[in-house]
Structure 1
């Protein structure tokens, strides 16, 4: 780890020397980085990095992890992020800094070497995370930590005496948040694991009983002042009277370069079709319905147009909010939980190099599609704390004291502390009934044989989906996937046979 720390610092200095211009925001990033590695000599435990978007959390978190590992003799650094798009982006950064031979990227979208020594090495390392620096998803991490299958458990011992960095920690699912926090606390208390939580919208986990007496150390000095200093956008609230989604799309199209973020794929499709009917040559969209190669191609084109100052309109679902590096002068965001609003704002004037402030318009269209129930709870809590207030004034999502109060409300309304699923998982863990943890407790239905209730099992993802694999990006693959989605289950099974 001492050697990796030295290599990381050398490559980071080389990268900074090669940057053009620099500017005030680079000075802030350097300050945040130096403060983070200054805290790395602290004792092992749980650390938090509340830092605004665009301040260089990717490098600062890795710098903290490598310095902390070198000082305390930790065996590896494991970085877990909630979305594959961010995993791929961060893994490439770390490979450039540390060398591909020292970085294992492990998630469902990785294509390993097909054969030969490289393929054997990758499969062996992925099987039990035998690498000094691992980049993975939170799904892989926690499904392994709570799993009971050999393929999952082979890597669990690698979490001991490691530095675990959880990026975009606000995305951890509330329905299983208590077991996750309890497991992280166990790793820290009993197995010498240091945990670093990073996010621009740092959740207030101390409001939950499982962490209410846990000592946590901030690796950012005076975050309130930092957020004020890094503010690069102004919020506008388009809530009353409610516009239509078409009116929002029309208003957004008046900007030469604009990003519009909505809550559902259906809404993204509606906006895209409206824009594409008027100016198809400058219109793009992003959603999870696209394969990874297609998303990368769209982002590459959008980034090129932004850099060259050409017109570009991009409509996207929430996937663009999780660390995707784009810099628009104007962002329109459908009403959403406060953490999503702030993450979307991080795509406006990201580098702080545009004249004046970036523009973020939060809108509540009357004809938007309905998001999932859990998402609606977050929207309700956001309305309670942010936006125009009855007594006058406006509270924006980057107000940290209000954000803490928002999380307290969110946990109360979603019953995070006492939810049936979380409590069942915790009780089954205490009884060492790991089959009930992973597959759900047994229940009898209508006097029949007992069956496992999967709704009470630990699962990071509740969607029961059938994967369809496209071996290479081709526009025809998108058409085929749309056709598959249009048929019912029996027809789909018949087609697959």
Structure 2
């Protein structure tokens, strides 16, 4: 054909000035990168030459079909689109890989690896699909490529394949044979009865390491990303910085106790330093995060660990801790979470095709930074990647200390699957895992051995709070009880900071309404999950400021569970609508947090909305409610030390009644072909509602501008955008992105997402209508009456959304 391009002149990406990016150079570069990664000192098959040779062949084949004349026209800007090259690459590999293994007399020993590599090539620009997806079979318009030139190239790279014919006729004949070969390999995946979940998970982790080698080799050949990590001097410097941070923040009553707890934990670690997984069990307020950072510095000095990865359940905790790490360690932190996801005009797949993925995007997605702060969702994608691109976060995962905060928030149904996957990648990448919580879930059914326990009990004789149990209350009684609570018949005038934590937004709003008759802002606050992030952060900072001022004025906060984990607020008295025991412990951690003054009180009640409706069951499973009630009824009043023992009994009984092992069947299903069960359907949280984003142009009051988050203000100045309306106008202007670097676009999306709240689809449609979602991914709520300056969207959530907190 007249426009058929000679293979040696095919390009992989557009020319840059005098530099050409030849396709052959790209294929050889990926081959080399794949082989070098798999030959390194980690992994299961580091000395297996057949395995490495086969993976290198996948690197050569993955983009081979870019030699197609139409794709070459596309990449040279002569047409708008090119054919999908991935299926053809998978088909070519299936042919050459099979013959390579036959020639080495290693079929069927490596038949499963052959199968995995076919799937990886077919999926290397998209979702990781079921092994049984056969769209790659028979793929290839080989007459549209310089097949003789490809054959010469392959013979140069793999001389042992010189006798394997590379002609259109030979590949057509392979179409008739490949299904039977595929079936033979697929049958080898049957694990039989009573499988060892750990060993099966190890094989899956090996598969995804192969995927990582291919994807990293492909992406990093386009934009080089250098590995970065801490060295010995860095660890010594950071240890000093952490000590300095502790001294400068040592004016609270708990400072001495925290320092002593930190010393005891490090002493315990030094006596048992060889485990892969540890729990760090310290009461709330004892300084778990700083202690974990000290542990990471110690492991860096003593055992050569290079990175810290901090994992949090909620963005509020993630961003708060990220700020602490930057300040305490004097280092830059890479944040990877949903707010930092950049909205691209082009699909990622299109950008990958052209080799135009930004180095900033690759740096973020590969976690190529010594300190990374990420979310449960993003960390889970490292273990169970849903897309080929997700595997990049494994690229520089080796020798990391991973700190997983508040693990009890994981959905019980997902917990054991997560642990099984975590243990496997921990071995593969030489990780050290530290779980941080005052309420640690059990590990018996997910890990092959118990974690090492680093634990500190509350200081003897120091009981910061007690938990008392009262009866039923509706919204009016709760408001009255907060306004005038008595202890031993005497009005408690010392409880200046009071809160009520309800199970649903509707419950919280109704209590707030009752209180608002007698208490006005700024002495009354409402916090819940249907306020935009900026609004919540400003209100939380105002509460903290008021508490720090220590004025002799009562302050009332009505909230849902959102203040129970990772929010550094302190109250003298909290009323808590009965949840389950872990939530009780977390709520108690907000009571007399700094151990100063009189003992704080947590009052447990059965909340009845309107005097009738108990909404506890909308949030918590009946079995866990029953278990909580059985344990609490043993006594009327519980002290802090007693509760921490009770939570251990709770988890023992919880998993004895239901071990949640059924979910591990997904591991077997994934190995036998159905990877999407893990990669795309595994979630750390259980979502009952499909949610949609809504942009709310909320404006902070002039007198509250000092309470805006530091990073938000910095982003405003950097981008020159100071109003919500201006931000949304830029979002609607799609050309706005084209003039920005990747880093600036990421900053813009973070700034914008301060105004975005995710709400149930039914509510979203009632607020902005369905049509706007067809125009903009994130429509704007222009109606000022729907979003209240104090209550947010709570007015619209009184009925019908009881599982939203």
Q: 2:647 aligns with which of 398, 403, 407?
A: 403
Displacement of 1:139: 1.3
Partner of 2:473: 243
Displacement of 1:487: 6.0
SS at match of 1:238: strand
Displacement of 1:129: 0.4
Kindly name which structure, 1 or 2, has the bigger radius of gyration based on alpha carbons.
2
SS at match of 1:77: strand
Q: 1:321 aligns with which of 556, 564, 568?
A: 564
Is the Cα–Cα contact under 8 Å of residues 402 and 434 in structure 2 kept in the other structure? Answer: yes
Partner of 1:468: 694
Residues 219-298 of structure 1 aligned to structure 2 (within 5 Å) = 219-220=454-455, 223=456, 225-226=457-458, 228=460, 230-239=462-471, 242-254=472-484, 256-281=496-521, 282-298=523-539
Consecutive unaligned residues in structure 1, runs of 5 or more: 440-456
Is the Cα–Cα contact under 8 Å of residues 40 and 68 in structure 1 kept in the other structure? Answer: no
The number of residue pairs the alignment matches comes to 459
For the pair 1:459 / 2:698, whether they are aligned, the reply is no
Partner of 1:445: none
For the pair 1:106 / 2:346, whether they are aligned, the reply is no
SS at match of 1:237: strand
Displacement of 1:268: 1.1
Displacement of 1:97: 2.0
Displacement of 1:412: 4.1
SS at match of 1:267: helix
Following the alignment from structure 2 to structure 1, what is the Cα–Cα distance between the partners of residues 757 and 295?
Answer: 45
Distance 1:94-1:21 versus aligned 2 partners, 3 A rule: closer
Displacement of 1:424: 3.5
For the pair 1:150 / 2:357, whether they are aligned, the reply is no
Is the Cα–Cα contact under 8 Å of residues 692 and 764 in structure 2 kept in the other structure? Answer: no
Displacement of 1:406: 0.8
Following the alignment from structure 2 to structure 1, what is the Cα–Cα distance between the partners of residues 759 and 337?
Answer: 25
SS at match of 1:460: coil
| Residue-by-residue CA offset, 1:21-54 (whole Å, 9 max, x unaligned) | 444x212211121223334441141111111000
Is the Cα–Cα contact under 8 Å of residues 238 and 363 in structure 1 kept in the other structure? Answer: yes
Displacement of 1:348: 1.1
Following the alignment from structure 1 to structure 2, what is the Cα–Cα distance between the partners of residues 482 and 218?
Answer: 39
Displacement of 1:376: 3.9
Following the alignment from structure 2 to structure 1, what is the Cα–Cα distance between the partners of residues 379 and 548?
Answer: 36
Following the alignment from structure 1 to structure 2, what is the Cα–Cα distance between the partners of residues 174 and 298?
Answer: 32
TM-score of the two chains, using structure 2 as the length reference: 0.53
Q: 1:430 aligns with which of 664, 671, 687?
A: 671
Distance 1:21-1:39 versus aligned 2 partners, 3 A rule: same
Displacement of 1:467: 2.0
Is the Cα–Cα contact under 8 Å of residues 470 and 603 in structure 2 kept in the other structure? Answer: yes
Partner of 1:79: 310
Distance 1:424-1:465 versus aligned 2 partners, 3 A rule: farther
Q: 2:574 aligns with which of 319, 331, 334?
A: 331
Partner of 1:196: 434
| Residue-by-residue CA offset, 1:391-416 (whole Å, 9 max, x unaligned) | x6655675344322211222244x34
Distance 1:406-1:363 versus aligned 2 partners, 3 A rule: same
Following the alignment from structure 1 to structure 2, what is the Cα–Cα distance between the partners of residues 481 and 149?
Answer: 23
Q: 1:70 aligns with which of 301, 319, 342?
A: 301
| Residue-by-residue CA offset, 1:58-90 (whole Å, 9 max, x unaligned) | 100111122213322223111101111111110
Following the alignment from structure 2 to structure 1, what is the Cα–Cα distance between the partners of residues 373 and 430?
Answer: 20
Displacement of 1:287: 1.0
Consecutive unaligned residues in structure 2, runs of 5 or more: 1-229, 345-356, 485-494, 702-723, 726-754, 776-805
Displacement of 1:246: 2.0
Is the Cα–Cα contact under 8 Å of residues 243 and 366 in structure 1 kept in the other structure? Answer: yes
Partner of 2:265: 36
Partner of 2:214: none
Displacement of 1:288: 1.2
Following the alignment from structure 1 to structure 2, what is the Cα–Cα distance between the partners of residues 487 and 470?
Answer: 12
Name whichever of 68-77 and 284-293 sits farther off: 68-77
Distance 1:409-1:161 versus aligned 2 partners, 3 A rule: same
Partner of 2:173: none
Following the alignment from structure 1 to structure 2, what is the Cα–Cα distance between the partners of residues 245 and 168?
Answer: 30
